[in-house]
Amino acid sequence: MNVTESLLHPLLSTASARPLLTHYDDAAQTRIELSAATLANWAAKTANWLVDEFDVEIGDPVCVRLPTHWQTAGVLLGAFWCGAHVVTEADDARVVFLPPGDHDVAAPQAIVALDPLGRGVPGGVTPPALDYLVESRACADDFMPLEPVPGDSPALMGLSAQEVLDTARRNAEKTGLDRRSRVLSTLEWTLPDGLLRGLLGPLAAGASVVQVTNADPAKLDARRDAERTTADLLA
């Protein structure tokens, strides 16, 4: 039961060019829009990199300590795609995804620049840490799992892949989302609940997400008008 394939493949087959994730950062005054195809490409590059660089196998822990950001979506969906178990503790993790800065982590580090245009860390990173955006960009845009991900395989903070999908779908139903929905969200993708509500829930419904981080409340009405959103998920 592959979480990423279950969420993205229906969209790729029917609306691959439609905006799927639009990310605003009100503090940085940036806006980035990703189609289903583009988000899938980032996820595929991440999955390929995890397998090729870190030998990640189904059930292996991958630690993600990143803020809510469009690059975080690519990291998470890529980890799910190759069957990794997404966690927040670095102990025994194959790799830890971190924002730029000084980190006291013994596990291999993948530094995510969080650059609006997808550029690497300015000035590079200090080995043995790796620059995720620079390294993964060279990987293939398609990912072919070597074996199916079992439904009972751990996927997110102890939840199985099947439980992740079931919970995401229930969250979508509770909020009345469907394929026509365009969701304005200020929810942080905390693991597991924030991610299940703010990103995976809408994706499970086939909805598109307008994610606003560091949200300025005074700008939300303008975001709704400009993006023609139909539903809110507010922190």
- The string of pLDDT tens digits covering residues 17-50 is 999 999 999 999 999 999 999 999 999 999 999 9
The band of 117, judged by pLDDT with boundaries at 50, 70 and 90, is confident
pLDDT tens for each residue of 156-212: 999 999 999 999 999 999 999 999 999 999 999 999 999 999 999 999 999 999 999
Buried b (16+ CB within 10 A) or exposed e, 65-95: bbebbbbbbbbbbbbbbbbbbbbeebeebbb
Fold of 3-233: Rossmann fold (3.40.50)
Delimit the domains of the chain by residue range. 3-233
3-state secondary structure 25-71: ECCCCEEEEEEHHHHHHHHHHHHHHHHHHHCCCCCCEEEECCCCCHH
> How confident is the model at residue 102, as a pLDDT?
81
The percent of residues above 70 in pLDDT, for the chain, comes to: 100
User: Strand 109-111 relative to strand 130-131: parallel, antiparallel, unpaired?
Assistant: parallel
Indicate whether 154 pLDDT > 90.
yes
